[in-house]
Amino acid sequence: MFNNLFGKFGKDININPDDVNKMADAASQMDLGDEDQVRLLVRGVAGMVGKQLDPEVEAQLIGLILSGNVPKDMASLMQMLK
């Protein structure tokens, strides 16, 4: 899955697969019910891809993660971010 994802987006956003794996490992240890930890995660991912999130989008993402309503596929996530 990650190889397909990196092939699709990796060139456009210049991300290192090792950095993504490290971020995923860190996220697996986080309490995703804790708003401060979720905020750090969202900002960390945005920083990794060199993007600064609009505060409204950041709040939306945090709310989705806290509520457990995270999009299950890339198309849904991309639609939400438009």
The CA distances from residue 3 to 19, 75, 78, in Å, are 14, 17, 18
Task: Place 76 in a pLDDT band, splitting at 50, 70 and 90.
Answer: confident
Greater model confidence, 7 or 79: 79
Residue 61 burial (CB < 10 Å; 0-12/13-18/19+)? buried
Q: Please write the tens of the pLDDT for every residue from 26-35.
A: 888 889 899 9
Q: Is the pLDDT of residue 41 over 80?
A: yes
- pLDDT number for residue 52: 85
Residues 49/13, Cβ–Cβ less than 8 Å: yes
Burial class, 38, CB count within 10 angstroms (exposed 0-12 / middle 13-18 / buried 19+)? buried
The answer to whether 35 and 62 have CB atoms below 8 angstroms apart is: yes
